[in-house]
Amino acid sequence: MIFRNPTNPFIPSAILLAAAMTLAGCASYRARPLSLAPPLRIDLASLDRTPQGGRVIDATRPLSPQALAALAVLNDPALAAARAQIGIGRAQIFAAGLLPDPNIQGGFGALLGGPGTAPSISGALAQDLASLITRGARLHAARARAAETGANVMWQEWQVASQAETLAVSLWADRRSLATLDAARSTLRGLVATSRQAVASGNLAIDQASAAQASLASLDTAHDAVAQQEQTDHAALAALLGVTPNTPIPLARPRIPRLPHGVTRNLVVTLARRRPDLIALRYGYRAADADLRAAILAQFPLLSLSVNGGSDTSRVASLGPTISLNLPIFNGNRGNIAVAKATRRQLDAAFTAALGVAQGQTDSAEQALALLGAERRAAKARLVSAATAAHAARRAYRAGLIDARIETDLIDQAATRQTELIALDQKNAAGRIALASLLGAGLPVVSHTGGAP
């Protein structure tokens, strides 16, 4: 650019135009104060109850573990904070794709003396070309990292859903155990009252009456422990749903299907293409690979091009390009290349280790379920035997064929067997949920072509 006359009106006009264009592209600040209102809701009806692609969940009816899992994914406050990271990834893609701004320089030298006839004027327009060379690689890395963030958020959603299902199953088991213990305590209270009357009338020894009281105290202790666990599970599930701990949560009977062994084997084979945490590691590796490409491209001589023009004090005007080149003799970006290579190797090893852990966890979960199945069958047989004996004992006690001690032991044993079976049912359902979560059952497969390496 050449400026021939210091009085040329084009000079201030050009400066004003450049300033206006610069200000037009600037962002403006707008305050966004934090909300200090407590965020937890007081009922399920006020939650977001519309899953993506699904119908509205009716919160007035008993809810299945699957429905509660969907509500948790929609309303968990921690997940809302995690999803905000996706916006950061998109902003990083935007930043990586921006072209470097050109640089404008200008100079003015007033004529103070000498043979000159006019002030000197100079101007230059420069553009960095080196960042254009690495732009593609940097953009690929930013996209991979944004995809990695999205996969990590999806894994958090998957984990929250699994946790909500597990808590719903535990809460159902707690309530069933409380109902079983309440029924046994009611029976024992009647037996204690009858025993006391028998002792008072001299028809029963005190030691036989005390057995019922001791069993009742033991059941009271067990009931208190289960009630505390029920409160803990209820509060944990309420926290996932984003409601206050005292919000009622109606539960439907859990139905957790079992994954057939053949299906499980097929899911294990495709673990790396389905589980979001493993997919996130693949995207992380892809980003590291793009970082290495960018570092290799950056080792080439840094180049900048500028156009300089102006006029000296004798009104001699000139215009021409200037090229600036850095010689990669001492640095050559070799340090960054070494770091990028080591990072890629580390992520490769981390992915292999994570895949091995995932495979081992699924195999272990399958073995645990097989053991729980055998334990449940044995517990079911013990319960049937204990319930039959307790029912027969009630009739025999009323007929005077057995004493209060035997009746007490059989009632206590039946309640114990019932709570034992409830606990095994809960563990079995929780194990199935954990296995499905570990396998990523129901999640789509991310292909090699459309996903990470």
* Structure confidence by residue, pLDDT tens digits, 143-192: 999 999 999 999 999 999 999 999 999 999 999 999 999 998 888 888 77
Q: Residue 1: what pLDDT?
A: 38
CA distance 172 to 424: 13
Q: What is the number of other CB atoms lying within 10 angstroms of the CB of residue 132?
A: 12
Q: State the alpha helices, DSSP H only, in 112-257.
A: 130-200, 206-241
* Per-residue H/E/C for 273-331: HCCHHHHHHHHHHHHHHHHHHHHHHCCCCCEEEEEEEEECCCCCEEEEEEEEECCCCCC
Handedness of CA 407, 409, 415, 421 (dihedral sign): negative
Look at the block and give the residue holding tokens 């505390």.
228
CA distance 22 to 94: 19
Are the C-beta atoms of 232 and 29 separated by less than 8 Å?
no
Are the C-beta atoms of 198 and 394 separated by less than 8 Å?
no
Q: How far apart are the first and last CA of the chain?
A: 48
> What is the token pair recorded at 326?
């850095």
CA distance 89 to 354: 24
**DSSP 3-state of 1:** coil
Name the residue among 102, 94, 86, 106 with its Cα closest to residue 27: 94
Q: Can you list the residues of the chain whose pLDDT is less than 50? A: 1-12, 449-452
State the amino acid at position 300 in one-letter form. F
> What is the token pair recorded at 156?
């958090």
> What is the token pair recorded at 193?
């009252």
CA distance 405 to 208: 5
What domains does the chain contain, in order, with CATH numbers? 65-101+129-300+334-439 (1.20.1600.10)
CA distance 62 to 56: 14
**DSSP 3-state of 32:** coil
State the amino acid at position 234 in one-letter form. H
Are the C-beta atoms of 272 and 297 separated by less than 8 Å?
no
Are the C-beta atoms of 3 and 310 separated by less than 8 Å?
yes
